[in-house]
Chain A
Amino acid sequence: MLMLVLALAIGVFGLFCLDIAVGDTHIPIGRVLDVLGGGGSRSQRFIVLESRLPRALTAVVVGAALGLSGALMQSILHNPLAGPDILGITSGASLGAVAVLIGTGGATTGLIATVGTPLAALAGGLFTAAAIYVLAWGRGHGGELGVTGFRLVLIGIGVNALMVSGISWLLTQATLTDAARAQLWLTGSLNSADTSKVIPAIIALGVVAVVALSSARTLAALRLGEETTRVLGVRIQSQQALLIGSAVVAASVATAAVGPVGFVALAAPQIARMALRTPGEPLIASALTGAALVTAADIISRTIVPVDLPAGIITAALGGPFLLYLLVRMNRKATL
Chain B
Amino acid sequence: MTHPSAARRRRLSGLLLLLVLLAGLVVASVAIGTRALAPGTVYDALAHALGCPGGPFECPAQSTAEEIVRELRLPRTALALISGMALGVAGALIQGYTRNPLADAGLLGLNAGAAFLAALSMFALGFTAPEQYIWFAFAGSAIAGAVVFGVSSIGGGKASPLSLVLAGAAVTTFLQAMTNAIVLVDNAALDTYRFWVVGSVSGRDAAVFWEVLPFLVVGMGMALAAAPGLNLLSLGDDVARGLGVDVGRTRAFGLVTIVLLSGGATAAIGPIAFLGLVVPHIARTITGPDNRWLIPYSALIGGALLLAADIAGRVVARPGELQVGVMLAVIGAPFFIALVRRKKLVTV
- A interface, CB within 8 angstroms of B: 81, 85-86, 135, 138-139, 141, 150-151, 154-155, 157-159, 161-162, 164-166, 168-169, 171-172, 176, 179-180, 183-184, 186-187, 262-263, 307, 309-310, 312-313, 316-317, 319-321, 323-324, 327-328, 330-332, 334-335
**Residue B224 lies at the interface, judged by CB distance under 8 Å to chain A:** no
* CB-based contact A165/B174 at 8 Å: no
The interface residues of chain B lying within 8 Å CB-to-CB of A86 are 166, 169
Contact B154 A169 (CB under 8 A): no
Q: Are A169 and B166 in contact (CB under 8 A)?
A: no
Query: Residues of B contacting A317 with CB < 8 Å?
Result: 174, 177-178, 181
Q: How far in angstroms is the closest Cβ of chain A from B19? A: 30
List 16 additional A-B contacts (Cβ < 8 Å) besides A138-B341, A166-B326, A168-B197.
A135-B337, A139-B343, A154-B102, A165-B273, A165-B329, A168-B198, A169-B198, A179-B190, A179-B194, A183-B180, A317-B181, A324-B151, A324-B167, A328-B151, A331-B152, A335-B156
Are B323 and A169 in contact (CB-based, < 8 A)?
yes
Q: Are B323 and A180 in contact (CB under 8 A)?
A: no
Cα(A168)–Cα(B155), bound, Å: 36
Residue B239 lies at the interface, judged by CB distance under 8 Å to chain A:
no
Distance to closest chain A CB from B126 (angstroms): 16
Chain A CB within 8 A of B21 CB: no
Q: Residue B132 at the A interface, CB < 8 A?
A: no
List residues of B (156-176) whose CB comes within 8 Å of A's CBs: 156, 160, 162-163, 165-167, 169-171, 173-176
A-chain residues with CB within 8 Å of residue B102 when the two chains form the complex: 154
| Total contacting residues, chain B, CB less than 8 A | 53
Shortest CB-to-CB span from A48 to chain B, Å, is 28
Whether A155 pairs with B337 at a CB distance below 8 angstroms is yes
Contacts of B333 in A (CB 8 A): 158-159, 161-162, 165
Please, which residues of chain A bring their CB within 8 A of the CB of B343? 139, 141
Q: Which residues of B contact A81 (CB under 8 A)?
A: 166, 169
Would you call B346 and A150 a contact (CB within 8 A)?
A: yes
Which of B151, B173, B322, B341 contacts A319, CB < 8 Å?
B173
Report which of B163, B197, B330 forms a contact with A162, defined as CB distance below 8 A.
Answer: B330
- With CB as the reference atom, state the residue of chain A lying closest to B156: A335
Nearest opposing residue in chain A for B170, CB measure: A323
In the bound assembly, the distance between CA atoms of A310 and B180 in angstroms comes to 10
- Candidates B170, B184, B332; contact of A309 at CB < 8 Å: B184
Contact B174 A176 (CB under 8 A): no
Q: Separation in Å of the B258 CB from the closest CB of chain A? A: 19
A165 & B326 in contact (Cβ 8 Å cutoff): yes
CB atoms of B340 and A158 under 8 A apart: yes
Contact A157 B170 (CB under 8 A): no
Chain B contact residues: over half helix, strand or loop, or mixed? helix
In the assembled complex, which residues on chain A have CB atoms less than 8 Å from the CB atom of B187? 176, 180
Q: Contact: B163 with A262, CB < 8 Å?
A: no
- B346 & A320 in contact (Cβ 8 Å cutoff): no
Query: How many Å from the CB of A317 to the closest CB on chain B?
Result: 5
Residue A157 contacts which of B165, B167, B190, B348 (CB distance < 8 angstroms)? Answer: B165
In the complex, what's the smallest C-beta–C-beta distance from B326 to chain A, in angstroms? 5
Distance in Å: Cβ of A208 to nearest Cβ of chain B? 24
Residues of B within 8 A of A139 (CB): 343
Is B191 among interface residues, defined by CB-CB distance under 8 A? Answer: yes
List CB contacts (< 8 Å) of B313-348 with chain A: 322-323, 325-326, 329-330, 332-333, 336-337, 340-341, 343, 346, 348
Chain A residues positioned under 8 Å from B163 (CB to CB): 327, 330-331
User: Which B residues touch A328, using CB under 8 A?
Assistant: 151, 154-155
Counting chain B CB atoms within 10 Å of each CB, the highest count among A166, A316, A319 belongs to A316
Q: Please, which residues of chain B bring their CB within 8 A of the CB of A172?
A: 194-195, 198, 323
Chain B residues near A321 (CB-CB < 8 A): 170, 174
A-B contact pairs, 25 of them (CB 8 A): A86-B169, A151-B346, A155-B337, A155-B341, A158-B340, A161-B274, A161-B333, A165-B329, A166-B329, A168-B326, A169-B323, A171-B194, A172-B195, A179-B190, A312-B177, A316-B173, A316-B174, A316-B180, A319-B173, A320-B173, A320-B175, A323-B169, A327-B152, A330-B163, A331-B156
In whole angstroms, what is the CA distance A138 to B330 when docked?
23
Q: Taking CB as reference atom, which chain A residue is nearest B167?
A: A327
| Given A323-B169, A324-B170, A327-B170: A180 in contact with B190 (beta carbons within 8 A) | yes
Contact A331 B155 (CB under 8 A): yes
